[in-house]
Amino acid sequence: MSSGELAVAGLGIVAPGVSGPEDALAPAAPAPPGWFRTEVALPGRGYRRLPDASKYLLAASRLAVGDAGGRFAETPREHRGAVVAINNTGAALLEELDRTIVDKGAEELPPSSTPFGAMSSFAGRLSMEHDITGFNLTVNSPLTAGLDAIQTAVRAVAAGRARTVLVGAVEEALSPSQSSPSQSSSAQSSSAQSPANGLQAGAVVLHCEPPGEGEARYGTCRARGTFLDPAAAASDAAAVLAALVGDDPPDRIDAVLDDSAVGTAAARWLDRLTGEHGVAVVIVPSTAQAGCLVPLQRVLGLFAQEHTAPVRRGVLAASDQGTVAFAELTVAPRGAAAKGKEN
C-alpha cells in the first residue's frame, strides 16, 4: 500500500488509431504497418535506428511535456525523475539480437539497438532526451506495471527525490514465435481489435508533480498494489480487493482483467461492488500475455474526459500471476462545460 498522490499536468499517448488523449478509451484499432512515422513524431537526427518501443516512449513523453507547457523546463534537472513501466517491451528485440549472434556472430550486432538488451535502457534514453538527472526507474511486472509506476513515483516525490516525474508505460509487439499458441480461439479472434493482448504497441506518459506545488490541470492520482494468490483467488479475493480499493470506492472503476482465476475472482467481486455501492464497472478484457500499457492508458483516458465538477475514478488491473494494482483518480473539472458553469 502507499499514501500520497501526484498532480497530473500533462498527458501524452502514442498508439495505433489514437489521435490524442481524448481517444484513449475508444475501442482499440489494429496496428497497420507504418502506423508510426518517426520523421513526424520525432523530427531531427538520432531517432530513426532506435528500437520502436524507444521511439514510442520518446514521442509520448514529448507530447506530455508539451501538454504541460513549460513546466518541465522550469524544473532543475536534478529534480526531474522518470518511472517507466515495461512488460513485453524488448522481448522481440532480444530474440532478434540472439538470432543475429547465432547466425552471424556478435560482431554483427547493431550498435544502435544492442544497448536496449538491458531493459533499463528505455528509461535511460528517456532521461537523456529530457535531461533528467534526479533518477530514472524501470518497473517490470505482469499487466500492473503501469499502475505500479504511479505508486513508485508517489513514493519518490514524497521522499523529496523529484519535483517533476514522467510516469510512463511502453510496449512493443511480441514476435510471432513469442505469441502463445495456447490462446483460446475467442481470445485469438479478439486480439487484433483489443489493446490488452500480447501484440499491443505504443506508449503513455503522464507529466506529474507534487500536488502542493504542481498544477493539477487534469487532477490527482495515487496507486496501491497487492498480491492475490491464484490458488486461493476464489476465497480470498473479497478480503484482498476490499482492502485494496477501500471503504469508499470511486463512482467508476475500469478493470483490466483476463479470464484466469485471479481475473475471474476480481470480476465477481466487482459485480458485488456494483450491487452494494452502485459503482459503474467497465471491464476491459485482457489475456495472459497482455503488456502493461492498457491500465495506464485507461488512467490517461479518464483524465482526458471533461466534467463540470470533480469526479472520482479508478483503474484496477489484475494478472494471472497474482499481481493486483489499483489507481484512484480525482479528475478535475475542465473544458467548455466547466467554464460555462463557472460563468
pLDDT on residue 336: 57
Q: Give 3's DSSP letter.
A: -
DSSP secondary structure, 7-60, as one string: EEEEEEEEBTTB-SGGGTTSPPPP--TT-S-HHHHS-SSS-TTS-HHHHHHHHH
* Inter-residue contact 211 to 139 (CB < 8 Å): no
pTM for this predicted structure: 0.90
Which amino acid does the sequence have at 215? E
- The three cell numbers of residue 204 are 503513455
Alpha carbon distances (Å) from 239 to 242, 245, 313, 314: 5, 10, 21, 18
User: How many DSSP H helices and E strands does the chain contain?
Assistant: 11, 10
pLDDT on residue 328: 98
Using DSSP, state whether 183 is helix, strand or coil. Answer: coil
- The three cell numbers of residue 328 are 484512484
pLDDT on residue 93: 80
The 10 Å Cβ neighbour count of residue 152 is 23
* Inter-residue contact 127 to 78 (CB < 8 Å): no
Kindly give the confidence (pLDDT) of every residue in the chain, 343 residues in length, as a single tens digit, with 9 standing for 90 and above.
Answer: 345 899 999 999 999 989 999 999 988 777 788 899 999 999 999 999 999 999 999 999 999 999 999 889 999 999 999 999 998 888 788 788 888 898 998 888 888 888 888 889 999 999 999 999 999 999 998 899 999 999 999 999 999 999 999 999 999 877 777 775 544 333 333 333 344 344 688 999 999 999 886 678 999 999 999 999 999 999 999 999 999 999 999 999 999 999 999 999 999 999 999 999 999 999 999 877 778 999 999 999 999 999 999 999 999 999 999 999 999 999 999 875 555 554 4
- The three cell numbers of residue 285 are 478484457
Tell me the domains of the chain and their CATH numbers.
6-209 (3.40.47.10), 221-342 (3.40.47)
Per DSSP, what are the bridge partners of residue 85? Answer: 139, 169
